Amino acid sequence: MEPYYGPVSSFGFGGYRRYYYGHAGYVPYTETYHDQWLTIRLSDTGRQDSAAKGQVVWVGEGVTTQYSGDFRQTVGYLLLGIFGYFGQDTKKQMTLTIDQSDPRIMQIAESDY
């Protein structure tokens, strides 16, 4: 909430001036943000050892916050961010900024799938 101050008026004569300040209050406003996640888990299903079969060998996770709640507008950025580190153990969280004019994003947006 932002403070809001009403109008200020003054009047006076000679060397005397009196100020009247308007009321103070708060004008509420809201903004809605949408958090969107995409998680990709890669499992090893080809092993003969039944104990190791289906073991998760790599996890890629992407998170973004947008004004738009339409996941179709965001999924290209999440895929690009995740697959930029596909199969790597980064050992830490990676923060990426992907511009709208990035040719890889343009290519994903123009695809027919």
Q: So what's the pLDDT on residue 39? A: 92
For the segment 28-56, the average pLDDT, to the nearest whole number, is: 81
State the virtual CA torsion across 64, 68, 31, 101 in degrees, nearest 10.
70
56 token code pair: 């998760």
Decide if 76 contacts 105 (C-beta within 8 A). yes
At 53-94, the pLDDT tens digits run 778 888 999 888 888 778 888 888 888 889 888 888 888 888
Please state, in angstroms and rounded to a whole number, the distance separating the CA atoms of residues 103 and 112: 16
**Residue 102 has what DSSP assignment?**
-
At 6-37, the pLDDT tens digits run 555 555 555 555 555 555 566 677 888 888 89
